[in-house]
Amino acid sequence: MKKLSIIVLASIGIFGCNMAIAANNNIEQTEAQAAPSVSVDPAKDFLSQLGLSQSDVEMLYKYHHNTVMSEFRNRDNLLFGNVVPLKNTSFMPANTIGNMEIGTGYHLVNWDQQSIAEFKDTLGRVVFLMNTPEFRRDFNRSIFTVRAQSSENVLIPSSYDQLKSYVNQTAARYGNHVTAYVSDSHTQRAWGTNRLFIQFEQSGINAALVAHEMMHGVGFAHDGKYTGWNDNIPYYVQTILSMNESASDICKNGRSKCEPDMINFGEFYNSDDNETYRPANRETVKTSVALLGKYFNHVS
């Protein structure tokens, strides 16, 4: 896989955006990985190694054991599987940003332990979800909605297998290392660009945004007019994980672009469907639908 020579600059609304960086960050920190939870079950240990919290580990093991075992058996060939568990050197102090561009309206701060734990768990959720049979099916089913021109410098994959191959090869070129900064601002934006460089707000760490920015982190963009919910890879992946499994009908008007109030959200996973799910009035739309809700909306 050839290294991208052009870094694309783009910005989007409240769900995420990406920005170009001027140089690689070579700052070294003392690395001290958090010890994973001790378990006598290798499959649970595998889930912990994704970065998932203990409550998420137990929930997945209880309600989605077959999927857990499938991913465990395929643990050496997971999409983004070599990026996790995150090293503590991924969480950069604010004063190491150097000349790299900072997200618009961002005020960078140092990571605290709560934000680190939240980000690790959230990325673990994203990695788990992107390796489920449902994600593979839904990605293949609606990939025709993504336009080739949406990422001018990256070939749009035509299948899930092509996506996984490209993502893993590109991440490997970047040392499978995420460089992450955090802000205490409230712009409702996140930023990501090549070399797995990402910036998030403390209040905005969620699976939808993390999935979106990780796609920017391996070079996918939403260039030019292709900024809809399903005509580019970052939004397309975000849609499948957190809005509607069938990305081809994400907009009620049948188009690729629509306002948030015109989104045709997917199935709600709450107590109306199954008593193992949390009551609907305790969950927001983003965490009740699509694969995120199906796998992580259970009563713990």
Task: Tell me how far apart the alpha carbons of residues 108 and 105 are, in angstroms, rounded to a whole number.
Answer: 10
Per-residue confidence (pLDDT) for residue 26, from 0 to 100: 37
CA distances from 174 to 1, 112, 239 (A): 12, 25, 26
Could you tell me which residues come within 8 angstroms of residue 56 by beta carbon, excluding any fewer than 6 positions away? Answer: 47, 121, 124, 125, 296
* CB distance 273 to 280 below 8 Å: no
Checking if the pLDDT of 240 tops 70, the result is yes
Average pLDDT over residues 270-285: 69
pLDDT grade for 270, boundaries at 50, 70 and 90 = confident
Per residue in 182-233, pLDDT (tens digit) is 999 999 899 999 999 999 999 999 999 999 999 999 999 999 899 999 999 9
Query: pTM for the full model?
Result: 0.85
Mean pLDDT for the chain overall? 86
Task: Tell me how far apart the alpha carbons of residues 249 and 67 are, in angstroms, rounded to a whole number.
Answer: 26
* CB distance 166 to 157 below 8 Å: yes
Per residue in 150-188, pLDDT (tens digit) is 999 999 999 999 999 999 999 999 999 999 999 999 998
Report which residue type is found at 157: P
Task: Tell me how far apart the alpha carbons of residues 16 and 28 are, in angstroms, rounded to a whole number.
Answer: 28
Checking if the pLDDT of 33 tops 50, the result is no
SS3 state at 172:
helix
Higher pLDDT, 1 or 178: 178
* CB distance 203 to 186 below 8 Å: yes
Per-residue confidence (pLDDT) for residue 166, from 0 to 100: 98
Per-residue confidence (pLDDT) for residue 23, from 0 to 100: 33
Per residue in 37-54, pLDDT (tens digit) is 555 799 999 999 999 999
Residue 42 has, within 13 A of its CA and on its CB side, a CA count of 6
Could you tell me which residues come within 8 angstroms of residue 162 by beta carbon, excluding any fewer than 6 positions away? Answer: none
Closest to 126 (Cα-Cα) out of 300, 291, 270: 291
pLDDT grade for 9, boundaries at 50, 70 and 90 = very low
Report the share of the chain in percent with pLDDT over 90: 72
Residue 178 has, within 13 A of its CA and on its CB side, a CA count of 30
Checking if the pLDDT of 6 tops 50, the result is no
Checking if the pLDDT of 109 tops 80, the result is yes
Hey, which residues does 151 pair with through a beta bridge? none
Per-residue confidence (pLDDT) for residue 12, from 0 to 100: 35
Could you tell me which residues come within 8 angstroms of residue 288 by beta carbon, excluding any fewer than 6 positions away? Answer: 268, 269, 270, 280, 297
Per-residue confidence (pLDDT) for residue 272, from 0 to 100: 74
Residue 287 has, within 13 A of its CA and on its CB side, a CA count of 17
